[in-house]
């Protein structure tokens, strides 16, 4: 029997991870995940696609750009809302992203204009902070205002968004046909154009060398992002990939906490491969593994489509096929292909469109090749794990987990390891068989000494079949002072994690038999208390709380930690 666990996040105390159980003694890795196609728009077509919650209702809205630019919202059926009836010059192509460029709490749209001017544009979402003279309803096209980021110099083929210099503003990277540009966000002032040399079409961003800054990968290497985007040196490190392809994706393919490089041709069937990052990513020798000898894709997306805790790859070859390559739970980096359609394959996007906790697909072929479709993931979830977390109390690690439903669940084996690969059984907790009631479990590891540990759960059915959860990492080092950390992620939607530490001794704190009196509360921008996350006595240790802000609107919020005479507050941004 196959059991899979997914995670739905709620307010809990401890570290949370997105998890699933992977069955290791069944055919779970070769069983197709069912996707139901649904016509979004029978006439919908265009190169540029994105998914974002445009109207702030808590669900992902498909965005489509071709000869027109607009977005779809589903009530009883899909409704289309135009943003601009025709582009400023010719057509929107070929890539698009939706992120909060101006930092006002709603997603804006970043897209290339493929006309002779080749401008890179961003369209300002009016929902939270309307442009001058506009209303706030994003369903009304006149409320949207577009701005020119800069002139790319050629057809904009790929766009990536990220805060490259950690200044709190999202920067833009664009590429296409020999031109790659970094656009530093200086809003409300003009964007700063930083062209990069030795670059081609494909781009992907991520912290390759783990220095806290997002780097830029291209098909044959990567740029180390300097502290100063404008004044710093962009060192380029070549990767021996053979013949460079058009598209790239940075992802941790094999679970070693290093970003690997995935490459593919954009328009033709060719070699589709991934390159394992060495310990020193500046080395040109990255180990190559072929995923498929004959596949192409205009855009690669990494997402966990079958809820097994491992990132899979979505790939669509225009006018040909739309497929998912499932990453093997038993041998990470080995992929199994599942074709889900022959349509809607150009620049397909992954996201939870129907808000049910699994990853769906949105796609359409390029301009003049309708329709636009969504593919709804119908993954069965017979056992639902809502949290797997830990607390550290008086130097002891306490593991906590909760299930919403269980089917034939005999027991859990708690396993511990000093790394992510080798585990030892340390305890057993009985399950509740078959139930639709919420079940809470706990296990205290009293033998762990100071150090870093990894934990996972082995869930065992009555028939002897078993499954593993994802791993959580625990750093068992006692804090030296009382502190409140910045929430992560930030901005967030709809959940974020807040960490704080209580030291063994702190003379300025009021103490009692039960420990230190702790209050962790959330306030809105005008100082009204809107949520109490913690209000109790707690013993020394490291704590984490996840705040689920699903019921609150986008905007700026503050969270405050009070402990005796000590207090500290920090700002966070909810972006829907």
Task: CATH number of the domain at 254, please.
Answer: 2.130.10.130
Residue 425 is part of a domain; what is its CATH number?
A: 2.60.40.10
The rounded distance, in Å, linking the Cα atoms of 456 and 471 is 5
- Does residue 160 form part of some domain? yes
Scanning the structure block, which residue is given the tokens 């577009």?
Answer: 146
User: Residue 266 domain-assigned?
Assistant: yes
Are both 93 and 203 inside the same structural domain? yes
Q: What is the pLDDT of residue 5?
A: 38
Give dist(CA 324, CA 338) in Å, integer. Answer: 5
For position 536, which CATH number holds? 2.60.40.1930
At which of 362, 377, 392 does a domain end?
A: 377
In a domain, 203, yes or no: yes
Residues 390 and 359 occupy one common structural domain: no
- Domain assignment present for residue 16? The answer is no
Classified as helix, coil or strand, 30 is: helix
Is the same domain home to 441 and 504?
no
User: Is the Cα dihedral 156, 162, 164, 167 positive or negative?
Assistant: positive
List C-alpha distances in Å: 495 to 11, 448, 524: 9, 30, 16
Q: Is the four-CA dihedral 275, 278, 282, 283 of positive or negative sign? A: negative
* CA triple 480-484-486, angle to 5 deg: 125
Q: What is the model's pLDDT at position 505?
A: 52
Residues 326 and 303 in one domain: yes
Please check whether residues 421 and 523 belong to one and the same domain: no
338 with 323: CB under 8 angstroms?
A: yes
Distance CA 110, CA 78 (A): 23
Integer CA distances (angstroms), 103 to 60, 170, 188, in order: 19, 8, 11
Residues 221 and 305 in one domain: yes
Same domain for 277 and 395?
Answer: no
Per-residue pLDDT of the chain (576 residues; tens, 9 = 90+): 333 333 332 222 333 333 444 443 333 344 578 899 999 999 999 999 999 999 999 899 999 999 899 999 998 899 999 999 766 777 888 899 999 999 999 999 999 987 667 889 999 999 998 888 889 999 999 999 999 999 887 788 999 999 999 999 999 999 987 789 999 999 999 999 999 976 668 999 999 999 999 999 999 999 999 999 999 999 999 999 998 888 999 999 998 889 999 999 988 999 999 999 999 999 999 999 999 999 999 899 999 998 777 899 999 998 899 999 999 877 889 999 999 999 878 889 999 999 887 899 999 998 889 999 999 998 755 567 778 988 887 778 999 999 988 888 899 999 998 877 778 999 999 999 988 889 999 999 988 887 889 999 988 888 887 777 878 888 876 666 788 999 999 999 999 999 998 876 543 344 443 457 899 999 998 989 999 999 988 877 778 899 999 999 999 999 999 987 788 999 999 998
Number of H helices, E strands in the chain: 0, 44
Q: Give the single-character DSSP code of 449.
A: -
Structural domain that includes position 453: 383-475
In a domain, 432, yes or no: yes
Distances (CA, A) of 46 to 67, 94, 305, 347, 557: 7, 8, 24, 9, 38
Domains contained in the chain, number:
3
Q: Are residue 436 and residue 535 in the same domain, yes or no?
A: no
CA distance 256 to 116: 44
**Domain limit, last residue, from 345, 361, 377:** 377
Q: Are residues 336 and 416 in the same domain?
A: no
- The pLDDT assigned to 319 comes to 86
3-class SS of residue 28: helix
Say which residue the tokens 């292909």 belong to.
Answer: 337
Q: Are 273 and 263 in contact (CB under 8 A)?
A: yes
Report yes or no on 69 lying in a domain. Answer: yes
Cα–Cα distances in Å, from 310 out to 273, 445, 465? 17, 27, 20
Judge if 461 and 540 occupy the same domain: no
User: Rounded distance, CA 233 to CA 290, Å?
Assistant: 33
Compute the 3-state secondary structure of the chain and give helix, strand, coil in percent, each to the nearest 5: 0, 50, 50
Q: Are residues 81 and 224 in the same domain?
A: yes
Domain boundary among 377, 397, 418: 377
Residue 170 resides in a domain: yes
CA distance 255 to 331: 10
Lookup: tokens for 229? 């985007």
- Residue 478 has a pLDDT of 62
Q: Are residues 413 and 492 in the same domain?
A: no
519 assigned to some structural domain: yes
Q: What is the pLDDT of residue 307?
A: 75
Please tell me the distance from the alpha carbon of residue 19 to that of residue 6, in angstroms, as a whole number. Answer: 5
């Amino acid at each position: 029997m196959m059991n899979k666990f997914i995670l739905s996040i709620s307010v809990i105390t401890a570290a949370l991870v997105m998890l699933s159980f992977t069955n290791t003694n069944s055919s779970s890795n070769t069983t197709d995940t069912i996707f139901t196609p649904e016509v979004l728009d029978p006439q919908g077509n265009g190169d540029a696609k994105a998914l974002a919650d445009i109207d702030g209702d808590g669900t992902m809205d498909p965005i489509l750009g071709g000869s027109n630019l607009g977005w779809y919202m589903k009530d009883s059926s899909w409704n289309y809302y135009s943003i601009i009836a025709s582009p400023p010059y010719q057509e929107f192509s070929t890539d698009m992203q939706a992120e909060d460029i101006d930092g006002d709490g709603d997603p804006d749209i970043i897209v290339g204009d493929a006309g002779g001017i080749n401008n890179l544009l961003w369209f300002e979402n009016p929902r939270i902070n309307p442009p001058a003279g506009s209303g706030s309803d994003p369903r009304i096209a006149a409320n949207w205002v577009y701005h020119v980021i800069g002139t790319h110099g050629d057809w904009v083929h790929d766009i990536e968004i990220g805060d490259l210099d950690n200044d709190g503003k999202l920067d833009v990277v664009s590429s296409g046909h020999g031109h790659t540009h970094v656009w530093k966000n200086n809003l409300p002032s003009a964007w700063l154009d930083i062209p990069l040399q030795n670059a081609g079409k494909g781009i992907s961003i991520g912290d390759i060398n783990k220095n806290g800054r997002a780097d830029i990968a291209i098909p044959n290497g990567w740029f180390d992002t300097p502290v100063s985007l404008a004044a710093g040196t962009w060192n380029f490190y070549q990767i021996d990939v053979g013949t460079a392809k058009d598209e790239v994706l940075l992802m941790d393919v094999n679970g070693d906490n290093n970003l690997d490089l995935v490459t593919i041709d954009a328009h033709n069937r060719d070699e589709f491969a991934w390159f394992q990052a060495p310990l020193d990513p500046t080395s040109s020798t990255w180990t190559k593994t072929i995923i498929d000898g004959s596949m192409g894709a205009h855009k690669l997306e990494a997402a966990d489509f079958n809820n097994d805790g491992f990132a899979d790859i979505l790939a669509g070859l225009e006018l040909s096929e739309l497929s998912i390559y499932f990453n093997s739970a038993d041998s990470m980096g080995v992929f199994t292909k599942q074709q889900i359609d022959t349509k809607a394959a150009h620049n397909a996007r992954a996201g939870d469109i129907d808000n049910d906790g699994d990853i769906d697909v949105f796609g359409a072929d390029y301009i003049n090749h309708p329709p636009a479709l969504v593919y709804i993931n119908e993954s069965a979830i017979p056992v639902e794990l809502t949290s797997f977390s830990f607390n550290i109390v008086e130097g002891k690690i306490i593991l906590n987990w909760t299930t919403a439903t269980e089917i034939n669940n005999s027991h859990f084996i708690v396993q511990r390891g000093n790394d992510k690969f080798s585990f030892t059984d340390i305890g057993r907790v009985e399950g509740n068989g078959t139930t639709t009631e919420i079940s809470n479990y706990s296990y205290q590891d009293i033998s762990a000494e100071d150090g870093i540990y990894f934990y996972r759960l082995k869930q065992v059915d009555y028939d002897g079949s078993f499954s593993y959860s994802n791993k959580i990492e625990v750093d068992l080092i006692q804090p030296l002072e009382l502190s409140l950390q910045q929430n992560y992620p930030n901005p967030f939607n709809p959940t974020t994690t807040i960490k704080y530490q209580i030291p063994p001794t702190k003379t300025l704190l009021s103490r009692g038999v039960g420990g230190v009196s702790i209050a962790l509360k959330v306030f809105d921008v005008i100082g009204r208390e809107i949520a109490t996350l913690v209000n109790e006595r707690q013993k020394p240790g490291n704590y984490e709380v996840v705040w689920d802000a699903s019921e609150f609107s986008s905007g700026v919020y503050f969270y405050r930690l009070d402990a005796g005479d000590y207090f500290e507050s920090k700002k966070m941004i909810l972006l829907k």
